[in-house]
Homo-oligomer: A and B are copies of this chain.
Amino acid sequence: MAKDKSPRRPRAETPKGFRDYFGAEVTERRDMLQKISEVYERYGFDPLETSAVETVEALGKFLPDVDRPNEGVFGWQDEDDQWLALRYDMTAPLARVAAQFRNDLPSPYRRYTFGPVWRNEKPGPGRFRQFYQCDADTVGAASVAADAEICAMLADTLEAVGIDRGDYIVRVNNRKVLNGVMEVAGLSGDDKEAERGIVLRAIDKLDRLGEEGVRALLGEGRKDESGDFTKGAGLSDAQADVVMGFVGANSAVRTTLLSQVGSNPREADFLRRGAASQNANPNIENEAVREGFGAVWNAGVLDHLRGLVSQSQIGQEGVEELEQIAALLAAQGYGPDRIVIDPSVVRGLGYYTGPVYEAELTFEILDEKGRPRQFGSVAGGGRYDDLVKRFTGQSVPATGVSIGVDRLLAALRAKGHAGAPAPGPVVVTVMDRDRMADYMAMVGELRTAGIRAEMYLGNPKNFGNQLKYADKRGSPIAIIQGGDEAANGTVVLKDLILGAKIAENATLEEWKDRPAQVEVPRADLVAAVQRMLAQ
């Protein structure tokens, strides 16, 4: 600040990458979070609200020898030289709480939370440095029943906020299966960490590069369209085959199922249509899927994976866990039309230790260029068994999900389900400055009747400004009482919604018998407003 010779007046601006939320932007999010909370609480999850500020050592993102650890987070040094920082997610604070209160909390501990998190990253279009997360985690449960429960809860949550069944799919994978694949491919040693990293990143690019591109990255490397070369993992063909068996599991299963198409026309049609819709571009409204093809598909995927990792104990364990999850979910009625085993879910696999899951919205929206595309992922999570250990030295199993609040809200808006914003207030105009008490009494009566209402509080001199204000507020009705009306004991109600329609279609006959303005006895004010609002 000292070197900045700026003018004396401060700039009225949020810092770069921060923004404000107004009116419906606030209430829509609040309403959505309320609905999510209701589902979470029904599942036995308890609310937790941790402080926004943590010690940097508790957040655990930084090496102790970094002098100013503000990479990625907003941090500062306290007066006693301790580094503090704003939380960057909800999981690190949960691990701290689980350690700090381990003797008081029930075990397992189910908790949910929502609130802002902060990231000290380069802001970009639609990318802010403060945003909301809504998380649910179960700490202290080793059983995959905990993972299955969260997947079911995720499905219920999406439906509760207004995403129709068929418009979403929860995909489940297991980090252990990938570990098994790595083992079978001879990539499990400590000395193979670099190769494993390249393989992970290659798998993560399946969507963009396709199977051929991934295959190239598993081998010598890949040259992209611009001519840039990315060095590959250098796997042998046999090793790459194993990994590709995992990467291409969905298409392999599809091929297998289509090869089984038999002579019964109905069954053939069932298999063909089901396999076509599962899994690359899930269209859950497909009749075959609804009729039960999902179970056939899940069984096919599990068989395929089982074959792939038959030589790896950890891999087999992973497949068994996926099988258990599918069975536990099926027992509650969550079939593969809602929750599906999908080996292509790799996002964040590096971080997790067991099952991982992701909720994807499958309906289409138009992208910036007007092209249709699937809405995509709105939530993700999985099992992370080592976070609490940092504090206590004891491993504590944990699994949980994080909903991207702003993305889900955008989806609800796209579907027209974001909830109605508060209606504009009825505006009582001020015709006579000396009778403010009368106008205020009108407002008081309307509010007492539960009607959103305001008296105009600006300078009343220019009546046009009062109507402009009412317009800006989205006001449905303006109340007017000048001297004549006051003498007659009446008030005038101006229907601003109807008025706007008439103004737009001034020639239309249909409005002629609906007056945009009525005069009623003062005593009937509330009833007349209620009638006009109900029209």
Considering the chains assembled together, what is the distance between the CA atoms of A101 and B13 in angstroms? 9
Do the beta carbons of A457 and B149 come within 8 Å of each other? Answer: yes
Q: Which of B1, B330, B437, B443 contacts A64 (CB 8 A)?
A: B1
A55 adjacent to chain B (CB < 8 Å): yes
Q: A67-B2, A100-B13, A332-B440 are in contact. Are A22 and B44 (CB under 8 A)?
A: no
A484 CA to B50 CA in the complex, in Å? 45
Q: Which of B3, B9, B441, B444 contacts A391 (CB 8 A)?
A: B9
Given contacts A55-B15, A436-B145, A454-B110, contact A60 B20 (CB under 8 A): no
A66 to B450, CA, bound (A): 51
A110 / chain B contacts, CB cutoff of 8 Å: 454, 457
Considering only residues 398-443 of chain A, those with a C-beta below 8 Å from chain B are 422, 425, 436-438, 440-441, 443
The complex places the Cα of A69 from the Cα of B9 at a distance, in Å, of: 18
Q: Verify B22–A46 contact, CB threshold 8 A.
A: yes
* Segment at the B interface, from A136-144, A232-240, A243-251, A497-505: A136-144
Considering the chains assembled together, what is the distance between the CA atoms of A425 and B49 in angstroms? 20
How many angstroms from the CA of A118 to the CA of B86 in the assembled complex?
Answer: 12
A469 at the binding interface (Cβ < 8 Å): yes
Confirm or deny: A392 has a beta carbon within 8 angstroms of a beta carbon on chain B: yes
Most buried by B among A1, A20, A330: A1
- Is the C-beta of A222 less than 8 angstroms from some C-beta in chain B? no
Residues of B within 8 A of A452 (CB): 41-44
Contacts of A54 in B (CB 8 A): 14-15
Contact indicator B11/A57 (Cβ below 8 Å)? yes
Against B, the Cβ 8 Å flags (1 = close, 0 = not) of A458-494 are 1100000000010011000000000000000000000
- Report the separation of the CA atoms of residues A54 and B9 in the bound assembly, to the nearest whole angstrom: 15
Q: Which of B327, B440, B473 contacts A145 (CB 8 A)?
A: B440
Size of chain A's interface in residues, with CB distance under 8 A? Answer: 111
A71-79, A176-184, A314-322: which one contacts chain B? Answer: A71-79
Closest Cβ neighbor of A33 among chain B residues: B30
Instruction: Give every chain B residue within 8 A of A22 (Cβ-Cβ).
Output: 46-48
Q: Which residues on the B side are within 8 Å of A6 (C-beta)?
A: 57
Q: Which of B42, B101, B129, B437 contacts A447 (CB 8 A)?
A: B42
Cβ contact of A47, chosen from B26, B86, B129, cutoff 8 A: B26
| Complex A-B, nearest 9 residue pairs according to Cβ-Cβ distance, in ascending order | A332-B444, A12-B99, A44-B454, A141-B457, A331-B437, A18-B51, A76-B76, A26-B47, A44-B425
12 further A-B contacts with Cβ under 8 Å, apart from A14-B96, A15-B55, A140-B458, are A10-B55, A10-B58, A10-B391, A21-B48, A30-B47, A42-B450, A70-B76, A74-B76, A75-B76, A110-B454, A148-B440, A331-B437
Pairs A–B under 8 Å by Cβ, sample size 28? A1-B82, A2-B64, A2-B65, A9-B390, A9-B391, A11-B58, A12-B99, A12-B100, A13-B55, A14-B96, A20-B50, A22-B46, A23-B47, A26-B47, A27-B47, A41-B422, A42-B453, A43-B453, A74-B76, A75-B76, A107-B469, A149-B457, A331-B441, A331-B444, A332-B440, A332-B441, A332-B444, A333-B444
